[in-house]
Amino acid sequence: MTSEYPEDPVELGDPNVFICFMDRFSPLVLNITCLKNNGVVSQGMEETSFYPSVDNTFCKFSYLPFVPEQRDFYICQVEHWDLPEGSTEKIWYSKAPSPIPEMMENVLCAVGLAVGILGIIAGTICLV
Q: CATH no. for residue 17?
A: 2.60.40.10
pLDDT at res. 65: 92
85 plus 109 within the same structural domain: no
Asked whether residue 80 falls in the same domain as residue 105, the answer is: no
Q: Report the 10 Å Cβ neighbour count for 123.
A: 10
Other CB atoms within a 10 A radius of the CB of residue 23 amount to 14
Domain with 45, as residue range(s), is 2-93
User: Do 44 and 82 lie in a common domain?
Assistant: yes
Same domain for 66 and 108, yes or no, is no
- Claim to verify: residue 72 and residue 12 sit in the same structural domain: yes
Name which of 1-15, 76-90, 112-126 the model is least confident about: 76-90
Structurally, the chain folds into a number of domains equal to: 2
Predicted local confidence at residue 89, as pLDDT? 60
